[in-house]
Chain A
Amino acid sequence: MFTVTAAERAEAYRLLSLCFHPPDERLLEALRETEVTWLRPAVDPVLTELRKDFAQLFVGPFMVPAPPYGSVYLESGRRVCGDSTMEVMAHYREEGLDLALKEPADHVAVELEYMYLLAVREMTAVAAGDEAGAAGYLAKQRDFLLRHLGAWVPMLRDRIVESARTGFYRRLARNADSFIRADLDASAAPRPDRSPRFA
């Protein structure tokens, strides 16, 4: 058990998001250098292996054992772009954000980056002495974790752990889930309800 600082918390969301993009040299370098030590890989991963594992877990082509999309877990019918995805889009709209990634809005990398952005905005508000603004961003993070990211990442973790061929992604899945759970606990929030609610 250890304590992370605020900067580390935002940085953790940012780096976790990066880890769910297609792996490249930049990612490995970022992970080697990060001060969020628990994100550093236990052993230096082989990029070609990571690429293959990333593809078979999240991209395909024949089937995607660990779809990185919230709606697949939160809704019936196993599809992307569901009602829950629309709700996520509404969150982004509220923050004046536009997607740059050619993926559905509830891709895990997008949701993690959204958490990073909210964390940054909360910090910025605090730095500017805007206590009310900061409280608002805190509430937004808690709501988003409860209703979206935090509600389905445990299921994503299980799928990854079951199908990953590299230790890197198994560890990433476990770390992401533990971190988000701890983040929810820290915000003294109730546990997320994991039953489908957009069916």
Chain B
Amino acid sequence: MTTTLDRRSFLAATASGLAVAPALRAFAQGGLPMTPEPGAWKPTTCQGCTSWCATQIYVENGRATKVRGNPNSKVNGIHTCVRSHLSLQQVYDPDRIKVPMKRTNPKKGRGEDPGFVPIGWDEALDHIADSILDLRRNNETHKYVLWRGRYSYLRDIIYKNMTQIIGSPNGISHSAICAEAEKFGPFYTEGEWTYRQYDVANTNYVLLWGADPIAANRQVSFYSSVWGDLLDRASVAVIDPRLSASASKADEWLAVKPGEDGALAVAIAHTILVEGLWNREFVGDFVDGVNRFIPGRDVKEEDFEEKFTHGLVKWWNLELKDRTIEWSAKITELPADRIRSVAIGFAKAAPRAISWVGGGPVMQVRGAYNSMAAHALNGLVGSVDNVGGTMKGNKKFMDEWPDYKPFMDTIAEEGVSHKKIDQRGTKAFPALNEGKSGGGVVTNRCADAILAADPYDVKVAIGYFNNFAFSCPQSERWHRALARIPTVVHITTHASEFTWFADIVLPAANHMYEKWGLCPAMAGGYTHITLNQPVIEPLWDVKIDETEVPWLIGAKLAEKGFPNLLDYLKEIKDPQTGATPTDEREFALYALKHTTRVLWDPEKHQGGDPFEGWEDLRSTGVWNSDPYPFRGRWGKMKTKTGRFEFYSETLKAALVGHAEKHETDVDDILETAEYLARGEQAFVPHYEQPKVWGSPDEYPLLFVDYKSRLNREGRSANCTWYQDFKDLDPGDERWDDVAKLNPVDGEKLGIASGDRIRIVSPTGELECTAKLWEGARPGTVAKCYGQGHWAYGRVAARSFGSVPRGGNNNDILPADYDRLSGSSAFYGITRVKVTKI
């Protein structure tokens, strides 16, 4: 078309009536004009990893432009890490989900475009409510599943309370693909199922096991801010098969053979005892003061008098006496003198010495015992709960939710009595969270359970803040499992691989900019509770996953004759006025005010920072605990003996309990769950030969997975800054996904930097670019997790729907488990072969 516009004819026609009342759609008719707003720092929370830093966002004229730490936090203060800034590109990403959508292609599969079309919230909620009511009509409400990925502490409303009122036992969390095995060691030694904080300000030695605190989890902002001082004062040794950011700045880098961390831990323990370097104040001593820990020789229990620990001599006799440095050097393929210097250096710094256990050595098949072995070193040097050592979280306070049980009817009560879908607590999956058989989750097992309809099939599933179809090992199983579920709802900011299999997509508020929530986090001797706050008006028609969506579902169910959920949610009132919420927005705010009342209401205050009222807490953005009470738990630990257990009576009770439940003995359980220990050895930290998939002949290289420092838990690959700065991960390249091989291996295989390669494991394969790099241990392939999306946006995928940008590590990692903790194994799990394409 060619058009000439003649302005004179235009002016001649101005008398036309058209000009009188303009018909508006994008602008408000007679609305109030927007007024300019001066810039201000507004408090919220960053959940780009589980550091959960208190942050502030600079907002000007309604637009967020800058991020910094919240100076009111005693955990991270004004510091914030590099990836927090990527959040600006996440919230303002044009590829975000903007309105509810529904699937138009009934076929589900990797190759089937879902054909999503926009619908209104009402239609979306109709669909969801009808699906739930169908389950209720057929008395099969247990076939409803709520999958939780990341969350704030408003989580229980959607995860537990709503799920139970609907009548399902299936609130299933992501925890087992996070780092549950990291909590296993501390629980079965000192009785705390939790992550730890570390007194880096007062320590003299840090032994990092696969942890990379200046790049990845946890408290990266805090540790980055103090790491320079730490390096000036203390020694840092890093155990990691690849050169991590922390390793690149450390005094010692021990490139252990993947999977063999346990052999190093027990040898360090052996050396500490043989050299007489254990901490007498915490552990105790031989009655006559003569060290009888002589390699290869048993010690009599009555010769040693323990103080705050239990079972040291048993540990020595059952495990440690033969675990010499020379034995360890053969297995770990580390030089004996280096092992010795680290063991002695660590022990001589006692009790100001930290054995810092990250995910690497423990999120392995059989990793539970590595977790115990590496953490038990803290017991030997007396750094547990001590100055310059390891701490648990400080005491924190939150108000309980009103009891939901009165709102469960007989259908719901019958529904929740069914087993959970993830096979937790079955004979092969003890998942001994906090000592209970089936106390923990086995997230990745859900896919197999659904495919086998064991214990039953799933008919309605809601996932939020998750992407299990990408983030779980052997993720292809999830594609098939999700395709089997008749109604899949995904509440998410971005359409991911999980969304691909959804029937209804609900646009979620961004956690850092558009949501009410609260997050506790700890570091440096304090715990803070920081609020997620809507610091900007959302651009699109999004709702808050944990509060607004349950309210809307409740309202829709009530409209269709099932009022229980809405009636329950109305019990959560505004603590200031007593008002009952009338819509989803009020409910979200009241819920947060309710659960934080114990922090902001002077009459309810129990500790930590005092506040004058809700507005005081809201504008400050964060509550800080009282300082950490060192040594408060010595002699009062929550173990069976009240002591730090080198011989774990607590684990023994848990294993016996699980065995009795299945009418068998502990050895049978260990065999079924694929552990090698038998008899008493099962109750002490010990070395287990790792279970590695693939034969060395067919698959000559060991695969080393790790996480990008820019990942924001895998949600940032669609940010151009993620791609622009990808080389912040040591060895990586911008706008690419590289697998790193040692130059020695590159030469052997005829592979050069820049070659396109295929990595094949026994369960899958991926394609990416090769990079020869000395930071990869010879005999391994090291590759960062994060790239490889075929969905998630225009930048994240090279060609949407078909060609990913690089490869997803989970395509080659087999679905296997550390069954005692329920954890998925990510590390030391598989061998691979690499070929040039």
Contacts and interface: CB of A to CB of B under 8 A. Distances in A.
Interface of A: 1-7, 9-11, 14, 17-18, 21-22, 38, 51-52, 54-55, 59-65, 67, 69, 72, 76-82, 85-86, 89-90, 92-93, 95-104, 107, 109-110, 113-114, 116-117, 120-124, 126-127, 134, 138, 174-175, 178-179, 182-183, 185-187
Given A72-B94, A92-B34, A110-B26, A62 B792 contact: yes
Contact of B495 (A61, A101, A113, A114): A61
B18 A11 contact: yes
Contacts of B16: 6-7, 123
Nearest to A22: B118
Contact of A61 (B15, B24, B63, B499): B499
A182 B3 contact: yes
Contacts of A14: 23
Interface in B540-589: 540-541
Given A109-B26, A113-B26, A62 B3 contact: no
**Main SS of chain B's interface residues?**
loop
Interface in B714-738: 720-721
B22 A117 contact: yes
Given A60-B96, A64-B94, A77-B720, A17 B5 contact: no
B14 A6 contact: yes
Interface string B59-74: 0010110000000000
Contacts of A64: 94-95, 794
* 6 A-B pairs closest in CB distance: A6-B10, A98-B31, A61-B495, A186-B5, A126-B14, A6-B13
Contacts of B97: 60-61
Contact of A178 (B3, B9, B20, B495): B3
A99 B95 contact: no
A63 B26 contact: no
A55 B99 CA distance: 10
A51 B34 contact: no
A85 B61 CA distance: 11
Interface string B419-431: 0000000000000
B129 interface: no
Interface in B108-141: 115-118
A67 B7 CA distance: 32
B28 interface: yes
Interface of B: 1-7, 9-16, 18-20, 22-29, 31-36, 61, 63-64, 88-89, 92-99, 101, 104, 115-118, 494-495, 499-500, 505, 538-541, 720-721, 791-795, 797, 800-801
Given A93-B35, A175-B1, A100 B26 contact: yes
30 contacts: A2-B3, A4-B5, A21-B25, A51-B117, A59-B101, A61-B116, A61-B505, A62-B495, A63-B495, A63-B794, A65-B794, A67-B95, A72-B94, A78-B94, A78-B720, A78-B795, A96-B33, A97-B28, A97-B33, A99-B26, A99-B28, A102-B539, A102-B540, A107-B26, A110-B26, A110-B27, A120-B22, A127-B19, A179-B1, A183-B5
A4 B5 CA distance: 6
Given A52-B117, A98-B33, A186-B6, A79 B92 contact: yes
